[in-house]
Amino acid sequence: MSIQAHTAGDFYQLPRQQGRISPEAQADVERYGPYVAIYNEWQRAHFQPAIHRLKQRLSVVDGRQVREVLVLSQEWALFESVAMRHLKLTPNLRAHLLSTTKKLLDMVGKYWGNYYAAVERRSPKELQNSPYLLRDPVLEGLVKDWFKKVKIDRRALRDGIVNSSAERGQRYWDIFRAGLLRKLTATERAKLRQPTQRFREIPDWKARFQLMARSFQADVEMAPFIVDPITLGGAIAYRNSAAFYTDGRSNQLQYMVDCIYEILDHILTWLGMAESCGEEAICAFLEVHNL
């Protein structure tokens, strides 16, 4: 896959076609100034055609299309940041920028939902049927070693999850443990790890979560956008991952508890999915965090 993404630096200047600025862009410079011209030309020459192509291929899940969606996601996240912080846009163009962000979040969210259904989804199971619920000594050893490696107090995290809700606490701890073991186990269980090894081998695979993490900001209203557990878990991890590494130990534990509840509430209540989907979301959350 030879598709190359633009960098943030590219979006500070007019795009060139065969080394030249287009007549439309030159006219915009003369009429509106350089900032508006940069915005208009990137939309006209690059993003709107890419969004149109995505709209026509929402159900295509081959390797090239996945890569195109990842590149578009990464580029839009960078372009929006540059446009908001460095391009002096009119109120109308700022509204257009936000509208395009919402449109893209909706389309990309649907795309990953289709990808999940076609490639990633396994037979849904309730917790009592999970292969990770067993109190197997080998599995217990993996869990113990993980907590030691990441320097998280296992008992404190368990108590934080269990004691946060009399109705959901124990259930959520069990799902978290199962999701953790999805990430840690190998050999015959490796096919249950999420995101899959095949997906993680795609360049810039985390761009899936980079863009969709934007869904959690107040100005775009998350509700319609994320519809699959892998994107959800990864986006929540990507949203504020620095908090896990920079806050104190007690805040770190609270961060984990809050994220676990947010993930599982969304999967089980909002999306109405099976508990195994909660495991998948937790697995993706931990994978993107690199925990």
pLDDT in tens, 179-212: 999 899 855 555 678 898 889 999 999 999 999 9
| Residue range of the domain that includes 168 | 127-289
Mean pLDDT of the chain: 90
pLDDT in tens, 263-282: 999 999 999 999 999 999 99
120, 138, 159 - which closes a domain: 120
72, 104, 120 - which closes a domain: 120
Which pLDDT belongs to residue 129? 75
Same domain, 161 and 247: yes
- Please tell me which residue, 218 or 118, carries the higher pLDDT value: 118
Q: How far apart are CA 205 and CA 208, in angstroms?
A: 6
Asked if the structure places residue 87 within a domain, the reply is yes
* 44-71 mean pLDDT: 96
Asked if the structure places residue 145 within a domain, the reply is yes
Is the pLDDT assigned to residue 19 strictly greater than 80? no
Asked if the structure places residue 3 within a domain, the reply is no
Q: What is the pTM of this model?
A: 0.92
Encoded tokens for 145: 């070693």
Same domain, 181 and 45: no
Asked if the structure places residue 229 within a domain, the reply is yes
Which pLDDT belongs to residue 1? 42
Same domain, 87 and 197: no
68, 94, 120 - which closes a domain: 120
The number of domains in the chain is 2
pLDDT in tens, 31-40: 999 999 999 9
Share of the chain above pLDDT 90, in %: 73
Residue 164 — very low, low, confident or very high, per pLDDT cuts 50/70/90?
very high
Which pLDDT belongs to residue 3? 67
Same domain, 277 and 134: yes
Which pLDDT belongs to residue 286? 95
Same domain, 284 and 152: yes
pLDDT in tens, 80-136: 999 999 999 999 999 999 999 999 999 999 999 999 999 998 877 777 777 777 778
Which pLDDT belongs to residue 204? 92
Encoded tokens for 58: 């929402």
Is the pLDDT assigned to residue 143 strictly greater than 80? yes
Is the pLDDT assigned to residue 2 strictly greater than 70? no
Q: Of 101, 104, 102, 105, which is closest to residue 84 (Cα–Cα)?
A: 101
Same domain, 227 and 136: yes
Encoded tokens for 85: 């912080």
Could you tell me if 115 and 265 are in contact, meaning their C-beta atoms sit under 8 angstroms apart? no
Same domain, 143 and 107: no
* 8-23 mean pLDDT: 89
pLDDT in tens, 229-263: 999 999 999 998 887 777 667 688 999 999 999 99
Same domain, 168 and 255: yes
Asked if the structure places residue 1 within a domain, the reply is no
Q: How far apart are CA 288 and CA 209, in angstroms?
A: 8
Which pLDDT belongs to residue 189? 54
Same domain, 224 and 194: yes
